[in-house]
Amino acid sequence: MSQRQPAMLDSSDRGLAYGDGLFETMRVAADGSIPLLAWHLLRLGRGAQALGIPVPSTARLELAVEKARASLAGEGLIKLMVTRGVGGRGYLPPADPTPSLLWQTGKLPVWNDRDRREGIVMGLCSRPLQVDPFAGHKHLNRLAQVQARAEVARQGWQEGLLLSARRQPLEATAMNLFARFEDGWWTPDLVAANTGVAGVMRDWLLDHLNTRAEPVQCDLRPLSQLRHAQAVFLTNSVVGVLPVRKLAQWQWSVPTSVRNLQSRVDALFGA
């Protein structure tokens, strides 16, 4: 992230000490709009409720977003963080917390035209993704993803696929997983897996496809089922739709159906 708000974070803030907080990473379009802002704030609110963190007022959240957006020259990223704040004794949270609200901004990651058109190379991460009592919420404890991303870098992949302990494909290190089979679309059931994060772009795509009468099967399948897929792609609210051309010994082309989805998401951000 290239810029951050000038206020310093208290060294005893629970977000720093224990990962006791939440975050959302939002894409800002070239015209300054944040097309998925409402979706991000909704998920932030759900996460805060689950963790028992008071949700900052709408006015306070909007002011933070506006300040962050004003520091960007055109398109970019805003990372909004809410922690439980300072206080409590050890792990015990304060009875009446005062949440901290922070933001950072940065540039969009660059994916070259070939990768976006033909797909990226993904590897299999060695450590399974464990059951998480706060699955689905974008909490600040992302150590599993940090370690997985380090493995991706060591192996020279462009992304890594995280599996369950039963070797079921769940998600990439920073993106959700989709596939196209002969009978339609598919994405892993992260609720049943009790782990992972259902991304905002994943939710938008599920809603979009259902609106177009293109339902998505959502269940858990063995890794071997991916070899029967017509196409595999990853998605998040920053990159949109990113095809995968290779995973281990399997390779896929990018069909028109996936290219069309990619174009619709790009249009959402005016790209």
For residue range 59-73, what is the model confidence (pLDDT) as tens digits? 999 999 999 999 998
Question: Lowest mean pLDDT: which of 6-10, 49-53, 168-172, 205-209?
Answer: 6-10
* 50 shares a domain with 32: yes
The residue among 73, 106, 139 that closes a domain is 106
pLDDT value for 48: 95
Each residue's pLDDT tens digit, 195-217: 999 999 999 999 999 999 998 99
DSSP string, 178-215: EEEETTEEEEE-HHHHT-S---HHHHHHHHHHHHTT--
* 43 shares a domain with 15: yes
* 143 shares a domain with 101: no
Q: Is 157 helix (H, G, I), strand (E, B) or coil?
A: coil
For the entire predicted model, the pTM comes to 0.93
* 141 shares a domain with 64: no
Across the chain, mean pLDDT equals 94
pLDDT value for 110: 87
Q: 7 pLDDT exceeds 60?
A: no
* 262 shares a domain with 128: yes
* 191 shares a domain with 133: yes
**Taking residues 246-269, what's their average pLDDT?**
96
* 232 shares a domain with 216: yes
Q: 245 pLDDT exceeds 50?
A: yes
Identify whether 171 is a catalytic site residue. yes
The CA-based angle 16-18-19, given to 5 degrees, is 70
Q: Is 126 helix (H, G, I), strand (E, B) or coil?
A: coil
pLDDT value for 6: 45
CATH code: domain of residue 255: 3.20.10.10
More confident site: 4 or 8: 8
- Catalytic residue, chosen from 105, 171, 187, 235, is 171
- Catalytic residue, chosen from 24, 105, 138, 195, is 138
pLDDT value for 1: 43
CATH code: domain of residue 90: 3.30.470.10
**Taking residues 107-125, what's their average pLDDT?**
94
- Catalytic residue, chosen from 24, 25, 83, 235, is 25
Q: Which domain holds residue 228?
A: 113-268
Looking up tokens 């998480």 gives 132
**Taking residues 238-254, what's their average pLDDT?**
96
* 135 shares a domain with 83: no
Report d(CA 30, CA 22) in Å as an integer.
26
pLDDT value for 104: 94
* 135 shares a domain with 118: yes
More confident site: 241 or 88: 241
Each residue's pLDDT tens digit, 121-147: 999 999 999 999 999 999 999 999 999
More confident site: 78 or 58: 78
**Taking residues 100-120, what's their average pLDDT?**
93
Each residue's pLDDT tens digit, 84-107: 999 988 999 999 999 999 999 999
* 160 shares a domain with 89: no
* 98 shares a domain with 73: yes
Domain count, the chain: 2
234, 242 in Cβ contact below 8 A?
Answer: yes
The residue among 106, 131, 149 that closes a domain is 106
The residue among 62, 86, 106 that closes a domain is 106
* 99 shares a domain with 165: no
